[in-house]
């Protein structure tokens, strides 16, 4: 059996305890929620923490709540299954619920968490492999090596953000609440827009450090006429990571025209990409009215122009590019129709 | 030995009314091991834990082709917890499952031939220690030229992968077979239409869900016992004796419950030799469980093939000649490659009659995981090409593809162009079944754009008379032991790999001795306890072990019926055995239980038991290789599939697959259906999802069950198994194979259905959405060209 | 080495294992519960599925120490639990898998059966699409899944008293149909005798398709 490296494990009950452990062990500690990303990665020798700090026993990180202003607050350790089947989440943030419901397969959704998904490591066909495999080709610069096998001569890792919920959260303007211990030992909390979490470095695509604990995801109340959907391209109808993910948010005005829109794609490069021009093409147009189909096509075209998949994750990257406009069109239509997700099964 | 004995297709007993009826044959009996598997009690290789057991791990080559200059194991040996380290020098005798091509070593001796090739093995107190020790083995390699492409390997060979000092001109050639039957030139001469094209079959692999695992012990009295997840105990037994230089009688090989095989557990594997050797060295039981990644390196999966076919036909659709040229990418070792090369040509000559046939197949070594036998060994690839080509012939002639196939049916009790004897043949009924069930006539060619139906047919062997190593002994043997308790034990060398062969044995014993299923138990695949059987490959088990079982059971029946008749002083013809009872047909008050009958017989005849055996009749064409692919009976299959093609995404969705299969007689229809559905599923997956490939470094592109994508439940179409029974004169009660044949048509049927749906011909596997889109674009471009040409007229 | 307090199949147990062992390793190699299988090493196949607090999860990705405080059910637990609850023999889902021939090599099936068991506990009347979705994290390489669906549907039909659908391979009689009296089809005996002769009793073999009367 593929073995885990040796480590110790702690299961603190409170945020403070968890942060204390992170502070004490520093770089030797890693947080774990469902473990569905971290454990395979550890089996592949990608991480070798001395201490694994599980967040599963921390009550504060569990559950879905709705604040008075309509903000959805989702504890970081809430499972994907729980959010995908939660009626309030489905109603208020359909794209997010749909994305959560399409992550991996049934068992993994019952283990994997929202926080773990947001914090997911980037993926690459040259990286998500065993130690023997990676060693056979001299490793790569994301881990243990010095070159990139995707971009010849590249000096920056372009492994792909592959978390399905990330683009939906970006499209929804979600915010993340983190806690950490500062140098004086005090627990401080900060709120960060999801947009500001990711950076375009595949080696580590987040702007927070390993000692920062994600407490909750906050999704602000949507517009009264909020529409949203998620489209996911993958080979199989279950288990597989996205080959492309497209999140759509559309806010309609009273007349039914698009007042505001946001489109974000994932599984392309190190961070999810906001498809700004595509969204702009929709604004002012009215679904079902003349000009709408052209607007949708224009959005698809703009997205195609902006997205350049690379051979980072497995699969034919030219094909992935070809699918950008198709999934953009279909996901927009699904959102407007109150349907989705866009997925082949 | 009652070899070549024909037992007939009928039930063994006539009832009082003179009618013969089956008791258990043809009924959906449960499997012997079903509930043990359902409750987690079945014991698989990795479930075996022995006191003091050590754990072994393998060091593998990180290079695709290299000479081993030096191996230093001293640092590994010094690691606390390490009990032994072995290398190729510890077991230098080469072996190969085919005795003519012994080109493998348990561990590489002086050369590694693909990334993942085995170099050394360590036994230690636990897996972590063994893994740590691997890191401490120092190997110095001298790199050699790497061949990843078969054409390149053949044409520009500088460092032959298997140097042959006597015949250096062979280069990287593994095997070439060229055979010619009938007058091919004349056939093409007579043809009204000739279709010629190239086809590609990619590589695919088995991915049985159970990874390979072996456990060995070596007792102080020099008995070696090996438990291994193998599907051919007998060949492992032979190979162990050879490589370890032990007398075969001091080796016992046991196959525990097996978690799937599909051909992937047919070869003797490195881990089997390693645990045996390590157990001998350390005096401790040793286990090795391969990781999923290692299973991908061990491979032995379906060979990639580049196929060129040319088919001629007359106006009424009759095939006049077939010409094939096939290039086979063998990977690093021979494995069953000699047979593969023959099969690629030999098994095409049914269910259609062609008067002339020529094929030229070449297998080449490359520095990739070795290919071998996968379900439908050697014949799935040519069948794909040919059945697509037949569809193209039908198109050229504007014929219905089913009608074209009917027009070429070879018939029953006939001979193929390459000299194979065909007995029963239910192909026409298979066609009729899929035509009916798919509502072909109403729907084919008439569904809306994007939806389509396709058909394909095939033939496969029920074992062959080629016994791998030449000998005159039976191919299948079985032994029955009768107990005073009423229990009959059957001892069979046959390997139940999940297909249900032990259930078949039990069912036949019940039928012949009139017992209820729980009165028979089966011990299988233990070389100490069971007579030799050649194992689970080439779909031989039901046919051969089944016949051997009838043979043994019938001998016992005569003995028991005779004894009871003597006791009752009646004619043995009046004795009836059924439902666990034995009675006088003419005086039913005379009725005793089977147990009592056994006791009477034991008192009169001494300890009861019998043996049975099966050997094939003399078969095959009278030419070199003519026995390869010569089977005592062939199964036939037709599939119709219904697909949807999303023209925007290029994705093919298979909605329905109707599988009509002539299995001769369904000894247990539920098990037959399971084989049919499982086969069709596997073929469909090869068509649209799976691809076993190496990347530009020669490294397996994604050796995991995440990256090698086998279908989940939601990716699998509705499968409709339609059983056809042609009652073969030589099969057990008329049965033939069902485990491999029904895979073949799935792949071409999808291609043909896609043609019906959107008018594109997919000739190169796998049918990825990208390829579909490219073909659609090409078609549109061609149409526009035609359109504008018309306009300009 | 740590002493873990695990509750497995209803029993609170203490077991010593290194902290970096997965639940699958502890179940198989420390507790001897080898019914849970390992097919892929890392979350890709579902063979190691166990129920944790009733939910199907992957024991190969579960750090054993973190399973403390949860109810773990393995395949070995179903039959005894069914007996404890007053049932006879194996859990109806296990029984249906056996009756339908769904167990070929059987290696995927402990995980598959537990996923099916969880589905039926959660959704008393799933459609075939819902069954497919619920089992889509359990790879089976043998069956093509058809007989697995049939088994789940048979278990459902048995529970609700409905008539199970007949499989495509049995165009004549439905092998799983119930007789008018509500029994399963008579067990298989030597047909020549059971049909009307009245001489030999029909075999009441519970191991054939159809329950013993
Ligand atoms: C076979 C397979 C298929 C998969 N398919 C998909 C897929 O289709 N789409 C997809 O998006 N994902 C997929 N995944 C990945 C994974 O299952 C999910 O992304 C899941 O949501 C991860 O959550 P987790 O709780 O298990 O994360 P963990 O593995 O526990 O953690 C992941 C990362 O997040 C960090 N982390 C976790 N919680 C916190 C926290 N509260 N604060 C700070 N950091 C934290 C960890 O340190 C770690 O680096 C798949 C995984 C597998 C094994
Ligand atoms: S993109 Fe892939 S190959 Fe390149 S550095 Fe990143 S992980 Fe390595
Ligand atoms: S062994 Fe756990 S999912 Fe495969
Ligand atoms: S029964 Fe063999 S893998 Fe499912």
Cβ neighbours around B455 below 10 Å, total: 30
Q: What CATH number should be reported for the domain holding residue C27?
A: 3.10.20.30
B158 class by beta-carbon count within 10 Å (0-12 exposed, 13-18 middle, 19+ buried): exposed
Q: What does the pLDDT read at residue C206?
A: 30
Cβ distance A156 to A192 under 8 Å? no
Q: Which residue of chain A comes nearest to B130, CA vs CA?
A: A3
**Confidence at residue B5, expressed as pLDDT on a 0 to 100 scale:** 60
Which of B611, B439, B461 lies closest to B541, judged by CA?
B461
Co-location of A65 and A210 in the same domain: yes
Which ligand places an atom closest to the C-alpha of A54?
1
Q: At residue A205, does pLDDT exceed 50?
A: yes
Residues B714 and B738 in one domain: yes
CATH at B400 = 3.30.365.10
A180 domain-assigned: yes
**Residue B93 resides in a domain:** yes
Q: Which of B272, B287, B302 is the last residue of a domain?
A: B287
Listed residue (A180, A222, A214) closest to A72, CA to CA = A222
Same-domain pairing of A331 and A253:
yes
Residue A102 belongs to some domain of the structure? yes
Q: Is residue C208 part of a domain?
A: no
Whether residue B754 sits in one domain with residue B667:
yes
Q: Give domain status of residue A325, yes or no.
A: yes
State whether A183 and A330 are in the same domain. no
Is residue C9 a part of any domain in this protein? yes
Domain end position, chosen among B614, B648, B673: B614
CATH number at residue B62: 3.90.1170.50
Angle, to 10 degrees, between the axis of helix B270-282 and the axis of helix B233-244? 50
Residues 60-99, chain C: which have Cβ within 8 Å of B?
74-76, 78-79, 90, 94-95, 97-99
Domains in chain A: how many in total? 2
Closest-lying ligand to the alpha carbon of C113?
Answer: 4
Check pocket membership of A46 for ligand 2, CB cut-off 6 A.
no
Of A7, A57, A81, the CB nearest to C20: A7
Span from the CA of B125 to the centroid of ligand 3 (angstroms) = 24
pLDDT in tens, A120-171: 999 999 999 999 999 999 999 999 999 999 999 999 999 999 999 999 999 9
The alpha carbon of A154 is separated from its chain's Cα centroid by a whole number of angstroms, namely 25
User: Nearest residue CA, atom 36 of ligand 1?
Assistant: A116
Does some domain include residue B386?
yes
Instruction: Please tell me the total count of domains within chain B.
Output: 3
What SS3 class is residue B182? coil
Whether A236 and A204 map to the same domain: the answer is no
Q: What is the dihedral of CA B76, B80, B84, B88, to 10 degrees?
A: -10
Q: Which of A17, A19, A29, A31 to mutate to test the pocket of ligand 1 (most atoms within 8 A of CB)?
A: A31
Mean pLDDT (chain A, rounded): 97
Residue B486, sorted as left (phi over 0), alpha (psi -120 to 50) or beta, turns out to be: left
Whether residue B735 sits in one domain with residue B598 = no
Using the 8-state DSSP alphabet, how is residue A212 labeled? P
The minimum-distance atom of ligand 2 relative to the CA of A149 is 3
Question: Does A207 share its domain with A281?
Answer: no
Q: How many CB atoms neighbour CB A328 within 10 A? A: 29
Chain C residues with CB inside 8 Å of A8's CB? 19
Across the interface, whether the CB atoms of C147 and B670 are under 8 A apart is answered: yes
In a domain, C28, yes or no: yes
Residue A74 sits in the same domain as residue A215: yes
ipTM: 0.97
Q: Which range marks the domain in which residue C20 is found?
A: 2-79
E strands of chain C, at which residues?
Answer: 2-8, 11-17, 49-52, 55-58, 71-73
Atom of ligand 2 nearest to the CA of A141: 5
Residues A215 and A230 in one domain: no
* pLDDT of B323: 98
CB C90 within 8 A of CB A68: no
How is residue B14 annotated by DSSP?
A: B
Residue A316 located in a structural domain? yes
Do residue B388 and residue B526 come from a single domain? no
Question: B604 CB contacts (<8 Å, ≥6 apart)?
Answer: B563, B566, B567
Candidates A112, A96, A134; CA nearest to A35 is: A112
Could you tell me if A288 and A245 lie in one domain? yes
Domain end point (choices A204, A219, A234): A219
* Closest to B578 measured CA to CA, from B5, B15, B8, B10: B15
Residue A48 has pLDDT above 50, yes or no: yes
Secondary structure of residue B593 in the 3-state scheme: strand
| Per-residue model confidence (pLDDT) at position B15 | 81
In angstroms, rounded to a whole number, what is the distance separating the alpha carbons of residues A60 and A216? 9
Please say whether the beta carbons of B342 and B625 come within 8 A.
yes
Probe target for ligand 1 pocket from A25, A32, A344, with the most ligand atoms within 8 Å of CB: A32
Low-confidence ranges of chain C (pLDDT < 50): 180-213
How many distinct structural domains can be found in chain C?
Answer: 1
> Do B557 and B664 belong together in one domain?
no
SS3 sequence of B578-632: ECCEEEECCEEEEEEEHHHHHHHHHHHHCCCEEEEEECCCCCCCCCCCCCCCCCC
Which residues face B464 on adjacent strands? none
The pLDDT score that the predictor gives to residue C189 is 35
Closest by Cβ to C25, choosing from A1, A105, A106: A1
Q: Which domain holds residue A106?
A: 59-119+160-219
Q: What pLDDT, on a 0 to 100 scale, did the predictor assign at position A86?
A: 98
Instruction: For residues B693 and B659, state if they share a domain.
Output: yes
| Rg of chain B on CA atoms, in Å | 27
CATH code, domain with A186: 3.30.465.10
Q: Are B749 and B639 in contact (CB under 8 A)?
A: yes
Helix (H, G, I), strand (E, B) or coil at B276: helix
Residue C183 lies in a domain: no
Domain boundary among A169, A194, A219: A219
Q: What is the dihedral angle through the alpha carbons of B777, B779, B780, B786, rounded to the nearest 10 degrees? A: 150
Q: Nearest CB to A106: which of C19, C61, C137? A: C137
User: In this structure, is residue B332 part of a structural domain?
Assistant: no
CA torsion angle A160 A165 A167 A171 (round to 10): -170
| Domain-embedded: residue B281 | yes
Q: Closest to B719 (Cβ–Cβ): which among C104, C138, C146? A: C146
Regions of chain B where pLDDT drops below 70: 1-5, 789-793
The residue count of chain C comes to 213
Same domain for A257 and A194: no
- Between CA B322 and CA B354 the distance in angstroms is 7
From CA B638, how far away is CA B652, in angstroms rounded? 21
Q: Cβ–Cβ contacts within 10 Å for residue A155, how many? A: 9
pLDDT number for residue B786: 79
CA B708 to ligand 4 center in whole angstroms:
17
**Nearest residue of chain C to residue B519 (CA atoms):** C205
Would B204 be classed as within a structural domain?
no
- B379 found inside a domain: yes
**CA A72, CA A95: separation in Å to the nearest integer?**
14
| Residue B228: cis peptide before it, omega within 30 degrees of 0 | no
Q: Which residues of B touch A136 (CB under 8 A)?
A: 62-63, 115, 697, 699
Distance from CA of C87 to the nearest CA of A (A): 28
Judgement on whether residues A230 and A214 belong to the same structural domain of the protein: no
Query: What is the three-class DSSP state of C131?
Result: helix
Give yes or no: residues B682 and B716 share one domain: yes
Tell whether ligand 3 has an atom less than 6 A from the beta carbon of residue C112: no
Ligand 3 pocket check for C23: Cβ under 6 Å: no
Q: In the prediction, which pLDDT does B789 show?
A: 66
Q: Could you tell me if residue A16 is inside a domain? A: no
In which domain, by residue range, is B596 found?
473-614
Task: Write the CB contacts of B764 (distance below 8 Å, at least 6 apart in sequence).
Answer: B199, B200, B771
* B499 and B606, same domain (yes or no): yes
CB B493 within 8 A of CB B234: yes
Which partners does chain C have (≥3 C-beta pairs < 8 Å)?
A, B
Separate counts of helices (H) and strands (E) for chain B: 19, 28
Question: What distance in Å separates the CA atoms of residue B326 and residue B348, rounded to the nearest whole number?
Answer: 13
- Look at residue B611 in the predicted model and tell me its pLDDT: 97
What are the beta bridge partners of residue B660?
B638, B722
In three-state secondary structure terms, C149 is helix
For residue C187, what pLDDT is reported? 39
Residues B528 and B591 grouped into a single domain: yes
Q: Tell me, yes or no, whether A304 and A193 share the same domain.
A: no
């Amino acid at each position: 059996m593929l073995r885990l490296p040796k480590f110790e494990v702690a299961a603190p009950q409170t945020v403070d305890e968890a942060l204390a452990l992170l502070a004490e062990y520093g770089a030797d500690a890693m947080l774990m929620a469902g473990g569905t990303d971290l454990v395979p990665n550890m089996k592949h020798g990608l991480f070798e923490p001395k201490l694994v700090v599980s967040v599963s026993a921390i009550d504060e990180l569990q559950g879905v709540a709705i604040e008075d202003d309509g903000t959805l607050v989702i504890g970081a350790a809430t499972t994907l299954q729980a959010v995908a089947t939660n009626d309030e989440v489905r109603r208020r943030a359909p794209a997010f619920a749909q994305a959560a419901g399409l992550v991996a397969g049934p068992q993994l959704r019952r283990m994997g968490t929202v926080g773990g998904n947001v914090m997911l490591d980037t993926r690459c066909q040259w990286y998500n492999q065993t130690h023997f495999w990676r060693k056979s080709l001299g490793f790569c610069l994301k881990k243990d090596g010095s070159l990139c096998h995707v971009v010849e001569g590249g000096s920056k890792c372009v492994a792909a953000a592959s978390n399905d919920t990330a683009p939906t959260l970006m499209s929804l303007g979600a915010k993340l609440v983190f806690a950490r211990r500062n140098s004086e030992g005090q627990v401080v909390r900060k709120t960060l827009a999801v947009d500001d979490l990711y950076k375009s470095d595949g080696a580590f695509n987040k702007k927070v450090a390993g000692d920062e604990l994600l407490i909750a995801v906050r999704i602000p109340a949507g517009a009264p006429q909020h529409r949203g959907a998620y489209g996911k391209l993958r080979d199989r109808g279950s288990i597989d990571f996205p080959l492309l993910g497209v999140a759509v948010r559309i806010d309609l005005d009273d007349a039914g025209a698009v007042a505001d829109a946001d489109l974000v794609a994932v599984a392309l490069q190190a961070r999810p990409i906001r498809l700004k021009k595509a969204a702009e093409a929709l604004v002012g147009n009215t679904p079902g009215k003349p000009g709408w189909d052209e607007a949708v096509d224009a959005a698809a075209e703009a997205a195609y122009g902006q997205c350049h998949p690379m051979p980072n994750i497995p699969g034919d990257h030219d094909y992935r590019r070809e699918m950008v406009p198709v999934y953009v069109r279909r996901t927009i239509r699904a959102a407007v129709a109150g349907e989705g997700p866009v997925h082949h099964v | 030995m009652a070899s070549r004995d024909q037992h007939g297709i009928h039930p063994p007993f006539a009832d009082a009314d003179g009618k013969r009826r089956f008791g258990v044959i043809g009924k959906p009996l449960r499997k012997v091991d079903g509930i043990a598997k359902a409750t987690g009690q079945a014991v698989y290789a990795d479930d075996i834990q022995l006191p003091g057991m050590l754990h072994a791990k393998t060091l593998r080559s990180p290079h695709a082709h290299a000479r081993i200059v030096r191996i230093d194991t001293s640092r590994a040996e010094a690691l606390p917890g390490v009990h032994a380290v072995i290398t190729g020098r510890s077991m230098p005798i080469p072996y190969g499952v085919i005795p003519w091509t012994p080109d493998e070593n348990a561990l590489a001796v002086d050369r590694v031939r693909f990334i993942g090739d085995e170099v050394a093995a360590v036994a230690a107190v636990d897996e972590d220690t063994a893994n740590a020790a691997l890191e401490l083995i120092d190997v110095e390699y001298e790199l050699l030229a790497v061949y990843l492409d078969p054409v390149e390997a053949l044409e520009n060979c500088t460092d032959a992968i298997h140097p042959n000092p006597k015949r250096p001109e062979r280069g990287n050639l593994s095997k070439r077979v060229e055979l010619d039957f009938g007058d091919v030139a004349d056939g093409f001469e007579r043809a009204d239409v000739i279709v010629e094209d190239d086809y590609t079959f990619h590589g695919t692999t088995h991915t049985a869900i159970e990874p390979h695992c072996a456990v060995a012990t070596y007792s102080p009295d020099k008995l070696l016992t090996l438990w291994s997840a193998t599907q051919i105990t007998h060949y492992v037994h032979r190979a162990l004796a050879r490589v370890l230089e032990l007398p075969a009688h001091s080796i016992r090989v046991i196959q525990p419950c097996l978690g799937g095989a599909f051909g992937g557990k047919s070869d003797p594997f490195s881990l089997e030799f390693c645990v045996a050797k390590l157990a001998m060295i350390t005096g401790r039981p040793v286990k090795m469980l391969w990781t999923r990644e290692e299973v991908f390196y061990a491979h032995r999966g379906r060979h990639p093939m580049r196929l060129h076919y040319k088919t001629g036909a007359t106006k009424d659709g009759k095939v006049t000649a077939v010409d094939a040229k096939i290039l086979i990418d063998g990977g690093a070792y021979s494995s069953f490659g000699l047979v593969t090369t023959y099969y690629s040509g030999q098994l095409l000559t049914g269910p259609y009659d062609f008067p002339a046939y020529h094929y030229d197949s070449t297998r080449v070594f490359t520095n990739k995981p070795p290919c071998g036998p996968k379900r439908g060994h050697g014949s799935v690839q040519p069948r794909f090409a040919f059945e697509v080509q037949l569809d193209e012939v039908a198109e050229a002639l504007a014929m219905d593809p089913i009608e074209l196939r009917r027009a070429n049916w070879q018939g029953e009790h006939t001979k193929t162009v390459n000299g194979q004897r065909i007995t029963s043949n239910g192909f026409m009924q298979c066609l009729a079944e899929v035509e009916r069930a798919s509502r072909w006539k109403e729907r084919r060619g008439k569904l809306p754009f994007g939806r389509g139906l396709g058909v394909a047919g095939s033939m496969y062997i029920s074992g062959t008379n080629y016994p791998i190593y030449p000998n005159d002994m039976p191919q299948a043997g079985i032994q029955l032991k009768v107990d005073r308790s009423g229990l009959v034990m059957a001892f069979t060398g046959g390997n139940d790999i999940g297909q249900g062969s032990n259930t078949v044995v039990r069912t036949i014993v019940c039928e012949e001795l009139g017992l209820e299923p729980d009165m028979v138990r089966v011990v299988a695949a233990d070389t100490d306890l069971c007579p030799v059987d050649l194992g689970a490959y080439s779909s031989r088990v039901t046919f051969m072990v089944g016949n051997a079982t009838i043979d043994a059971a019938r001998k016992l029946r005569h003995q028991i019926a005779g004894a009871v008749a003597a006791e009752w002083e009646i004619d043995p013809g009046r004795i009836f055995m059924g439902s666990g009872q034995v009675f006088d047909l003419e005086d039913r008050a005379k009725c005793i239980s089977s147990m009592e009958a056994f006791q009477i017989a034991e008192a009169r005849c001494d300890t009861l038991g019998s043996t049975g055996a099966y050997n094939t009749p003399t078969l095959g064409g009278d030419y070199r290789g003519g026995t390869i692919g010569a089977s005592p009976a062939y199964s036939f299959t037709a599939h119709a599939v219904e697909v949807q093609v999303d023209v925007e995404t290029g994705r093919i969705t298979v909605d329905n697959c109707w599988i009509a299969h002539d299995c001769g007689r369904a000894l247990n229809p539920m098990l037959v259906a399971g084989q049919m559905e499982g086969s069709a599923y596997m073929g469909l997956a090869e068509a649209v999802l799976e691809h076993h490939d190496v990347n530009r470094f020669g490294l397996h592109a994604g050796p995991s069950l995440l990256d090698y994508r086998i279908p989940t439940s939601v990716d699998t179409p509705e499968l409709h198994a339609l059983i056809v029974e042609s009652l073969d004169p030589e099969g057990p009660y008329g049965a033939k194979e069902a485990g491999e044949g029904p895979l073949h048509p799935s792949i071409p049927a999808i291609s043909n259905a896609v043609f019906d749906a959107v008018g594109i011909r997919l000739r190169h596997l796998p049918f990825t959405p990208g390829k579909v889109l490219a073909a659609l674009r090409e078609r549109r471009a061609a149409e526009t060209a035609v359109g504008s040409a018309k306009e300009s007229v | 080495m740590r002493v873990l307090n695990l509750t497995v199949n209803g029993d609170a147990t203490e077991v010593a294992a290194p902290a970096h062992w997965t639940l699958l390793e502890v179940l198989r190699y420390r507790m001897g519960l080898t019914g849970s299988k390992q097919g892929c090493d890392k979350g890709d196949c579902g063979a190691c599925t166990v129920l944790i607090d009733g939910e199907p999860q992957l024991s190969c990705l579960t750090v054993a120490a973190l399973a403390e405080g949860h109810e773990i059910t393995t395949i070995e637990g179903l039959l005894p639990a069914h007996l404890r609850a007053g049932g006879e023999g194996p859990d109806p889902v296990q029984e249906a898998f056996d009756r339908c021939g769904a167990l070929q090599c059987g290696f995927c099936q402990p995980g598959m059966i537990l996923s099916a068991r969880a589905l039926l506990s959660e959704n008393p009347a799933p459609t075939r699409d819902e069954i497919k979705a619920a089992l889509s994290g359990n790879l089976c390489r043998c069956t093509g899944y058809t007989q697995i669906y049939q088994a789940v549907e048979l278990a459902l039909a048995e529970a609700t008293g409905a008539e199970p659908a007949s499989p495509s391979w049995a165009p004549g009689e439905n092998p799983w149909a119930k007789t008018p009296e509500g029994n399963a089809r008579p067990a298989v005996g030597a047909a020549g005798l059971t049909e009307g002769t009245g001489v030999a009793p029909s075999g009441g073999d519970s191991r054939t398709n159809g329950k013993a009367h």
